[in-house]
Structure 1
């Protein structure tokens, strides 16, 4: 059952697909725009790709294989790929610097960025997409919408991922909970389970008490509680911060209540410490994405014990940020035609299935959804449910938001600070940052 989950990308890079190993300059270096003819009459073209600097070896192989397939299928180009790598947290700054110097690469692998679309940095991919087999094969329209601006498509999501509950079926059984095979749950039913686990007084093999829930103090992992309570962070266009709302406060108050009621282990800010709580079976539930299963397995946890569920529904259960990664072509590229041939190869069944095997992702293409390679993936039903109702965080105009909201979470959850007051103060600061960036 878990065969598709054996190979995974490194923890903490959930929103990422591929990475490179060689640092490069932009895509329009002198002498490169037209390329040189090969012996077979094809033009040699090297495409530069701006991409996250994680998980180098696996991802370099996939991009190189996509380039080889694109070359095989192309009538005009012999394509190679050169990678300009940067930590994902520095991606926005890197694009700003390269754009200011008119030195942008040919492609970028990133979450969809509305601000880049509005600035005219990205090429319109609508015609290419509409001519491709993906037009009628793409499974999640909500993902595609994140790559559109004014009806035009600028970014095409390639990975389907989200945040969901992972639970230890063995611990639930030991606490006397009969249903250990659920894939969705209401808030009230979840609280009843946590109360039952608390009352059971279970001890883990390391002698520590078993808590109902463990989580990391992180905007990424906790945002689904805000969404599930009906809250939002920003308006769809990113021009207004709206997380100072009763709904958002309710979601955070409920999350804080899990700690104060003794249902949750003391939350961690350190990723490794937090992960160890779950794979040592000191907690029955955690909230994260499927990429973390590799860490659990490496820590010695038997993955056959695990079950998967959507985020508990407070008002409307949903997920944070559907596309793990999207590809775009920069408008300034002199090699757009070759770049589109590379993208076509990357989405081909031959290459795409290899990538999904490595990352244990689920397909965004309906034609692959029932492939034996993915059909038995136990995460697939949960992701499919959540990805049809995603609520991304549109923070493009406020780069400092993620760090500052993490700090707000730590203060709210670990101290007696008032949720609403803290939200209002931060929202005013973030809105000022947005207004300044939109001038």
Structure 2
């Protein structure tokens, strides 16, 4: 899931590039041959997502509405907090209300919503899935079926100060944690680096901590849960990952302030010249590149894959997918809208207004886009190596447990070994996905 405030999708100009989509018949309330739902009904629908702070989502919906005046989409904005979004969607599903049509699901919610039949299984042949990166497509699948269509993705990257590394005689960004610490030690000897901290991520007790915890565990060769949701966090590999974070707080590699960091806190610290390295999502690249005075490091940073224990690390796979509420009406319109919203042209426009992680191979490999967004090749590597957070029925309970035990270890309330043992015990109480 995206752990930062939900970033809006955008649409640029060139409305001609957005062709209207052909209709498809059937209804979610009717089953076609083979027992799968077919889709019928045309008319107004709703799109449900977190708050659109930039107004870009509405611009995309306006384009759809102009093309489809009899099938307009109304935007229902939920709170910024992902947990609150999930809870409101669940409440709508449990009451079988038709108020919500198309849902913007965090990529890690698919199993829960599909298992409870809160969303419909979708017709795979209606969407260009083969043109998308496979790990991204898999976030919308459950037990062999497609229940959500990738709309946007996310992969963590290591932002670093190119100017300081170069001045310290370091030719390449680090690929291991030990290299990162050694590089930082060299950089901090420079007069320009006086008072700087080495590294930060997102360590406040919220979803960002789950992401950073999972990345540390996976980057050391461990797992939080296997593909079926069975826990495996009480292992030597997982301990090495958590120990990296715990020891880094203890030896000052990570500043104590980072215990309060969410994405924007880290971005602001990096932009202010307080950090040599920062783990964050691609959205910050364009913000940190601004030359309006808001960033002290514009033109003096780059992004690399996350480091790991013995080599390149593993990002948590973020992103949002489009799902169709099982209790919705006008499902033929909804399918067409989902295809439109998740289309390659919309994502191309999105990249021009809200840089992030597209889902299509072609957008990562486009020379013009790479020139404009140099991080794309690195981001593609991050996404292809990424590991989803636990695919479980009760994701809210699992992430809460990870945050509880992870934070206890980082603050010294528990040892790494005890925190992982307690987390394993809690996760065993969760039902597997198979």
Aligned to 1:39: none
Q: Distance in 1 between matches of 2:316 and 2:199?
A: 22
Answer whether contact 1:17 1:324 (CA < 8 A) is retained.
no
Residue 214 (structure 1) shift: 2.4
Aligned to 1:68: 66
SS class of match (2:350): helix
**Aligned pair in 2 of structure 1 residues 294, 396: CA closer, same or farther (>3 Å)?**
farther
Q: Distance in 2 between matches of 1:431 and 1:107?
A: 33
- Per-residue CA deviation, residues 362-394 of structure 1 (Å, 9 max, x unaligned), is 432234444455222221111111211221112
Give the ranges of 4+ consecutive aligned residues of structure 1 lying more than 6 Å apart after TM superposition.
Answer: none
Aligned to 1:293: 285
SS class of match (2:44): strand
Residue 152 (structure 1) shift: 1.4
Residue 193 (structure 1) shift: 1.1
Q: Distance in 2 between matches of 1:119 and 1:224?
A: 28
**Aligned pair in 2 of structure 1 residues 193, 264: CA closer, same or farther (>3 Å)?**
same
TM-score computed with the length of structure 1 as normaliser: 0.79
Aligned to 1:40: none
Residue 78 (structure 1) shift: 2.4
SS class of match (2:260): coil
- Per-residue CA deviation, residues 288-323 of structure 1 (Å, 9 max, x unaligned), is 111133554474233311111111131564444434
Aligned to 1:354: 349
Task: Give yes or no for the alignment of 1:151 onto 2:125.
Answer: no
Q: Distance in 2 between matches of 1:153 and 1:318?
A: 29
Q: Distance in 1 between matches of 2:300 and 2:97?
A: 50
Q: How many residues align?
A: 388
Aligned to 2:212: 221
Aligned to 1:161: 154
SS class of match (2:223): coil
Q: Equivalent residues in 2 for 1:8-407 (5 A)? A: 12-13=4-5, 16-18=7-9, 45-55=43-53, 57-69=55-67, 71=68, 78-87=70-79, 88-104=82-98, 105-112=100-107, 113-125=110-122, 127=123, 129-132=124-127, 134-138=128-132, 140-174=133-167, 176-180=168-172, 182=173, 185-198=175-188, 200=189, 202-204=191-193, 209-217=195-203, 218-238=209-229, 240-266=230-256, 267-271=258-262, 273-293=265-285, 296=288, 297=290, 299-315=294-310, 317-371=312-366, 373-376=368-371, 377-394=373-390, 395-407=392-404
Query: Root-mean-square deviation (CA), in Å?
Result: 3.0
- Per-residue CA deviation, residues 64-101 of structure 1 (Å, 9 max, x unaligned), is 213434x2xxxxx8221112222322233222211221
SS class of match (2:226): coil
**Aligned pair in 2 of structure 1 residues 60, 409: CA closer, same or farther (>3 Å)?**
same
Aligned to 1:428: 425
Aligned to 2:25: none
Residue 274 (structure 1) shift: 3.6
Q: Distance in 2 between matches of 1:285 and 1:316?
A: 17
Q: Distance in 2 between matches of 1:256 and 1:399?
A: 24
**Aligned pair in 2 of structure 1 residues 80, 224: CA closer, same or farther (>3 Å)?**
same
Residue 343 (structure 1) shift: 1.7
Answer whether contact 2:8 2:56 (CA < 8 A) is retained.
no
Residue 262 (structure 1) shift: 3.3
Answer whether contact 2:45 2:329 (CA < 8 A) is retained.
no
Q: Distance in 1 between matches of 2:3 and 2:421?
A: 32
**Aligned pair in 2 of structure 1 residues 17, 57: CA closer, same or farther (>3 Å)?**
closer
SS class of match (2:155): coil
**Aligned pair in 2 of structure 1 residues 100, 359: CA closer, same or farther (>3 Å)?**
same
**Aligned pair in 2 of structure 1 residues 362, 163: CA closer, same or farther (>3 Å)?**
closer
Answer whether contact 1:162 1:319 (CA < 8 A) is retained.
no
**Aligned pair in 2 of structure 1 residues 155, 197: CA closer, same or farther (>3 Å)?**
same
TM-score computed with the length of structure 2 as normaliser: 0.80
- Per-residue CA deviation, residues 325-383 of structure 1 (Å, 9 max, x unaligned), is 11111233231111111122223444332222221124322344444552222211111
Answer whether contact 1:321 1:393 (CA < 8 A) is retained.
yes
Q: Distance in 2 between matches of 1:247 and 1:349?
A: 39
Q: Distance in 2 between matches of 1:137 and 1:335?
A: 27
Q: Distance in 1 between matches of 2:265 and 2:339?
A: 41
SS class of match (2:299): helix
**Aligned pair in 2 of structure 1 residues 58, 164: CA closer, same or farther (>3 Å)?**
same
Aligned to 2:37: none
